[in-house]
């Protein structure tokens, strides 16, 4: 037993270390996305608003968009004297990686609380760290990954509260709810999920009525105060701005064309199955099977009226399904795959864990079943490793093998313009003595230019369109190919073109 404990500790340290190294590689090698300047601006104005320097925050479009993380990142940037665009990118991504890893630790403990099995924590990490799109976004996406990390903390705290109901875990749960809400306002539904667990613990007399009421008040007060504390835009007229945030973010004013299943839709008119389909095609197949299996096992537990397992399943299924159903029913504006609801993924992972746990309990941990599951997991890990090692700078473009060939031409590829970094690198290799006259079809190309070293910026010169010799595009919004000179270079991933460089020498 003692040897098993040491093996487990070494496995935990190894897996966490490898994930950390991979994330630090990805954060350095991944390009700058479309929203980076907007998020930097949000952080700067949120910080200025919080410190009383300026109220310009109230006059920008994305004022309600995840201000807590952006304010923290801006504060750290200032403390480390990082003021330029490039310096802020490095600091913000480093903060994001550590924020994500903190969430991963919380997910590990959530799996332990859920099953009371040490292997469950490791399994939750295997699924999380071997999901290419999530890992890629954890290296650069300050809009959607922080709320995923906060969701891990919430799930840990709510299962800890279920197992040991008391003031401590109620307050931690309230704080994690507040953090999620400050990052994405639809996370208010977590308050209802916690309330459901509180009702269950009160009904089964784990809490006497006096203590239950005290805990409820402590939770409510903490959640309210923490939401205001974490979200600077609420510091003045909190109720007004909270209502405005709900109204504004539920119908975010973005209505550009979105490629979905081979057709272009306006963002407000996407089919109801937009998010479910994106989940199905981008989550590795074995993990997806695990999620559905966990749901099926959960429904069986509900049918057999096994009270405690049923509560676990209800919590997890509510956590995963309510946001998706809300988007469908409220017809909220979504786009850019399913990143707006990435925060449901920790709940999906725990459904995988819970399904495997109950399967092993049913078969009494028979060795052949255990080995078969390990074999399947090894195959999925191998698929992740092989694909990611082949496409190191493009892991954000992962589609699972079943849909990989279908995705080309039918689904959005590099919607955020990250590949402009690699396009710039290719052009720099062409430099001889005179700067190359370049142009970008989309603004992320410019942002990736900003992020170059000064010596490299001198080799590439942005010029008006009529003077461009090298035109670069990542093909977003394009319904037909450009008629611009000859095709100099194109990068393909999954057999699909990610970016293209056209060359027209001696432009007029």
pLDDT tens-place string over residues 402-442:
999 999 999 999 999 999 999 999 999 999 989 999 999 99
Confidence of residue 178 (pLDDT cuts 50, 70, 90): very high
d(CA 377, CA 373): 6
Handedness of CA 50, 55, 56, 60 (dihedral sign): positive
Confidence of residue 24 (pLDDT cuts 50, 70, 90): very high
Instruction: Please name the residues in contact with 95: beta carbons below 8 A apart, sequence gap of 6 or more.
Output: 72, 73, 76
d(CA 472, CA 372): 48
The answer to whether 146 touches 66, Cβ cutoff 8 Å, is yes
In tens, the pLDDT along 465-503 reads 889 999 999 999 887 777 788 999 999 999 999 999 999
Q: What is the pLDDT of residue 40?
A: 95
Handedness of CA 228, 234, 237, 241 (dihedral sign): negative
End-to-end CA distance of the chain: 77
Angle at 141 between CA 140 and CA 144, to 5 degrees: 160
Confidence of residue 143 (pLDDT cuts 50, 70, 90): very high
**If you count them, how many residues does the chain have?**
508
pTM of the model: 0.94
The answer to whether 92 touches 142, Cβ cutoff 8 Å, is yes
Domain spans of the chain?
A: 2-395, 420-503
* pLDDT greater than 50 at residue 249: yes
Q: What is the pLDDT of residue 302?
A: 76
In tens, the pLDDT along 81-137 reads 999 999 999 999 999 999 999 999 999 999 999 999 999 999 999 999 999 999 999
Tally of CB atoms within 10 A around 72: 18
Q: What is the pLDDT of residue 479?
A: 77
Q: What is the pLDDT of residue 248?
A: 77
d(CA 317, CA 351): 8
* pLDDT greater than 80 at residue 253: no
Instruction: Please name the residues in contact with 52: beta carbons below 8 A apart, sequence gap of 6 or more.
Output: none
Q: What is the pLDDT of residue 308?
A: 66
């Amino acid at each position: 037993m003692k040897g098993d404990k040491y093996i487990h500790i070494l496995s935990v340290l190894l897996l966490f270390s490898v994930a950390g190294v991979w994330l630090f590689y990805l954060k350095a090698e991944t390009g700058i996305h479309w929203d980076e300047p907007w998020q930097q601006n949000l952080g700067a104005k949120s910080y200025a608003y919080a410190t009383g320097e300026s109220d310009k925050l109230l006059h920008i479009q994305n004022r309600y968009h995840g201000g807590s993380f952006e304010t923290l990142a801006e504060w750290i940037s200032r403390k480390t004297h990082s003021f330029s665009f490039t310096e802020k990118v490095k600091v913000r991504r480093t903060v994001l990686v550590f924020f994500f890893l903190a969430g991963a630790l919380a997910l590990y403990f959530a799996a332990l609380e859920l099953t009371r099995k040490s292997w469950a924590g490791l399994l939750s990490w295997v699924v999380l760290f071997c999901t290419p799109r999530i890992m890629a976004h954890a290296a650069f996406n300050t809009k959607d990954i922080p709320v995923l990390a906060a969701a891990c903390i919430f799930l840990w705290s709510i299962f800890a509260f279920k197992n040991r109901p008391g003031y401590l875990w109620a307050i931690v749960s309230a704080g994690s709810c507040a953090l999620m809400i400050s990052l994405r306002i639809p996370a208010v539904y977590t308050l209802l999920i916690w309330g459901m667990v509180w009702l269950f613990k009160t009904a089964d007399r784990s809490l006497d009525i006096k203590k239950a009421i005290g805990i409820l008040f402590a939770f409510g007060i903490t959640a309210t105060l923490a939401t205001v504390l974490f979200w600077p835009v609420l510091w003045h007229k909190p109720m007004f701005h909270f209502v405005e945030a709900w109204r504004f973010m539920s119908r975010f004013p973005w209505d550009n064309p979105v490629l979905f299943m081979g057709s272009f839709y306006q963002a407000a008119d996407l089919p109801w199955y937009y998010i479910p389909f994106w989940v199905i095609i981008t989550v590795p197949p074995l993990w997806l099977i695990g999620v559905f299996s966990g749901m099926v096992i959960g429904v069986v537990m509900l049918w057999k009226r096994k009270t405690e397992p049923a509560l676990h399943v209800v919590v997890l299924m509510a956590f995963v399904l309510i946001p998706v159903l809300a988007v469908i029913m409220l017809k909220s504006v979504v786009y850019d795959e399913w990143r707006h609801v990435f925060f449901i993924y920790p709940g999906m992972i725990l459904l995988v864990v819970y399904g495997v746990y109950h399967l092993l309990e049913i078969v009494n941990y028979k060795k052949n079943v255990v080995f078969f599951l390990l074999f399947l997991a090894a195959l999925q890990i191998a698929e992740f490793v092989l694909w990611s090692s082949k496409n190191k700078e493009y892991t954000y473009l992962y589609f699972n093998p079943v849909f990989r060939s279908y995705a080309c031409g039918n689904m959005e590829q590099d919607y955020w313009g990250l590949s402009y970094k690699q396009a710039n690198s290719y052009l720099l290799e062409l430099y001889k003595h005179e700067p190359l006259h370049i142009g970008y079809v989309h603004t992320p190309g410019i942002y990736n230019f900003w992020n170059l070293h000064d010596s490299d910026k001198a080799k590439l010169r942005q010029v008006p369109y009529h003077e461009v010799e090298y035109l670069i595009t990542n093909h977003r919004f394009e319904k037909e190919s450009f008629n611009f000179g000859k095709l100099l270079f194109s990068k393909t991933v999954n057999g699909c073109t990610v970016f293209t460089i056209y060359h027209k020498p001696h432009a007029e």
